[in-house]
Amino acid sequence: MELKKDSNAVSIDMLLIVHSEKRRAAQGTHSDRQADLGALPQRRGGLQGIGNGIRRWQKFEGSDVHGSLTEKEHPQQTQVITSYNNQGTQLTVEVHPQDAMPQLLKKFSLAKRLQGDKNGNTRPRQPGAKDAHAYPWDRSSLKSMPLDLRQFEKLDTYASQVTVKNGLDELVSDLLQEAHSDLERVRVIWIWICHHIEYDIEAAQEKDRQAFKPTDILRTQKTNCDGYAGLFEKMCRTAGVQCMTVPGYSKGFGYQTGQSFSGEFDHAWNAVYLEGRWHLVDSTWGSGLVDSTTSKFTFLYNEFYFLTHPALFIEDHFPDNKNWQLLKPPQSLKQFESNMYHKSEFYNKGMLSAHPETSVIKTVNGKATVTIESCAPTLFMFMLNGKQEQGLLSLRKNGMKLDIYPPTVGTHKLQIFAKGNSDIYSSVLEYTLKCNYVDISVRLPAELHQPVGPSWFSEQMGIVNPSHPDPIIHTSDGRCSVSFGVEEGISVLASLHGDEGPITEETQRRYIFQVQRQKRAELKVQLPQAGKFALKIFVKKRLEPGNYVFVFNYLLCCTNTKVNWPMFPESFGNWGQDNELLEPLSGVLPANRNIPFKLKLHGIAKALVKGQDTWPLTLNREGYWEGSCSTAGCHEIYVMVLENANHNFYSYILKYKVNAQ
């Protein structure tokens, strides 16, 4: 039968009226037409296990379809039975006392409150063409509808502070006090669940997962994904918003890159109907995460899974019914398994795309390359088999490029992390790297940290206009000179690191001699032998306390096996940044020789060279201090300066060693 109250009313597909036993006995001849309430579950036995283990049949009792979940107290209360089949079709049966007919008609006239469609139907419709979004992602938004998250700031704060008092109905009522639209109703329910319900790991790992009743979830404030989805659906329906639970496969806790999916579904989430269209949410993953090493849950709110764009949601959620992908065209399970999995932080931190687009990549001639495009400058780092080694990561204004060189043949795990606007690096991508060839000539220094080469970040730290914009510098004779502009108030420090040879922590800066000319720094580098070296650059604001901060490094490469340069002379604290050494540059001088000296020194009164004897330096017209000394009988030679002509105290600024005779 069909009942209509007004133009906004819903249509009732079936009205089942059940009389009490006394009434039934009195009617006699009509008893064969009455429904047997107790026989209903048996006649529809499929209600006991619908949803492939994700959704189990439950019977809720309350005053109406949005009533309390408290136990039945009066025999005349309404009973509601709701179930879904594998295609997401909903069947709801309500059993009312006969004398409730006036209230029944009044209830079904509130169709707008129940989000009825234009035909007045409260039954959630199946998703159709109007719900579908284009695949692949068009980069327009992370959300499936236009949202300004700033508008939710006060609402989110309010919802997160609401507490459970006397049950689900009152909780929803309290949450809706500040919600004035269906979007806001969904938002407060989402925020409350994400901030109050803990993921029950033990329950999730049970082979025969039991259904979680909303009353039990509110009492323990713990549940598994089925419970999250069921609670979210119940609260939305209580708030008058159409909502469905969607079972399916997921790339969540325990997922291994490239794995296949079969058998029972392992996850459940929700679809909500807002502004004439279905949208997707996952309150389980919005609430926090599970540590893979400790198997402990931590509350960590994740905005990404609220009204997620379907073209992004499909990366880690595959529903049992393809219509709930909300995509055109929909993806197959095989595509879901093979497609690259971008973690939620990939998008949260402003990433747009990555290449390769498959989770398993193979090296070519011992090398693999990964590139990421981002919407803003972002810091990245990587790990190959848990170590930051065997890779060259260079930053770009809108992304990064990583060249990786696996050290052995076989399968490797490559993880990529991004920093974004926070102070924490988060995992955004994970690849399985298969290597069938190793180029033994490519062995990167263990101290080669990331990033390599100058970038927007080095400019931000005060290093500009570098002489070498590329991250790799090749030198045939083992020497090179690198220069760059330095902003006012910035001090620069450099060190050289290699895996072989005499370089130690004490001498790693002695193969670099720094020259400061006005606002530009020059680093003169001499390599102790052939090989690959990391030239690391650090900066520090002069007037601020603290240590130097690493900015970037160059990779220096030399194949000339005849290279064997000595260290530069040792400099002391009084060697000013604006000073310049022209000769001698070698820190080790030959014995029994006359050695010329030429330096540019600022703000001094006198300069001299001291060995067995003392040789003064004179200031020429070009502003250089010049002179010479003999190394005969010397083990060490010092350059000393007098800063104040009225004093007699000389300071050491340079130290040379003399070869044994």
Backbone angles phi, psi at 155, to 5 degrees: -65, -40
Exactly one of 96, 133, 196, 267 is catalytic; name it.
Answer: 267
Backbone φ/ψ region at 230: left (φ over 0), alpha (ψ -120 to 50), beta: alpha
**C-alpha torsion angle, residues 118, 120, 122, 123 (rounded to 10):** -80
User: Distances in Å between the alpha carbon of 235 and those of 112, 214, 368, 507?
Assistant: 17, 9, 49, 67
Question: What CA–CA distance (Å, rounded) separates 338 from 2?
Answer: 49
Backbone angles phi, psi at 307, to 5 degrees: 55, 45
- Token digits of residue 19: 């009389």
How big is the CA angle at 345 (ends 340 and 346), to the nearest 5 degrees? Answer: 45
Question: What CA–CA distance (Å, rounded) separates 191 from 156?
Answer: 6
First and final CA of the chain: distance in angstroms?
Answer: 116
Which strand (E) or helix (H) includes residue 155? Answer: helix 153-161
Which strand (E) or helix (H) includes residue 557? Answer: strand 549-558
**Exposure string over 92-107, b if 16+ CB within 10 A, otherwise e:** ebbebbeebeeebeeb
Does residue 592 contact residue 621 with C-beta atoms inside 8 Å? Answer: no
Name the nearest CA neighbour of 525 among 500, 552, 506, 498.
498
Helix (H, G, I), strand (E, B) or coil at 319: strand
Question: What CA–CA distance (Å, rounded) separates 230 from 239?
Answer: 14
**How many Cβ atoms sit within 10 Å of the Cβ of residue 439?**
12
Cite the beta strand spans of 363-409 per DSSP E: 368-374, 380-384, 391-396, 399-404
**C-alpha torsion angle, residues 230, 232, 234, 240 (rounded to 10):** -150
Backbone φ/ψ region at 361: left (φ over 0), alpha (ψ -120 to 50), beta: beta
Exactly one of 131, 156, 200, 282 is catalytic; name it.
Answer: 282
Q: What is the DSSP track for 413-455?
A: EEEEEE-TTSSS-EEEEEEEEEES---TT----TT--S-BS--
Has 117 been annotated as catalytic? no
Has 635 been annotated as catalytic? no
Name the nearest CA neighbour of 419 among 344, 356, 346.
346
What DSSP character marks residue 143?
Answer: B
Has 225 been annotated as catalytic? yes
Cite the beta strand spans of 105-159 per DSSP E: 133-134
User: Distances in Å between the alpha carbon of 139 and those of 341, 352, 355, 464, 513?
Assistant: 16, 7, 16, 32, 48
Could you list the active site residues? 225, 267, 282
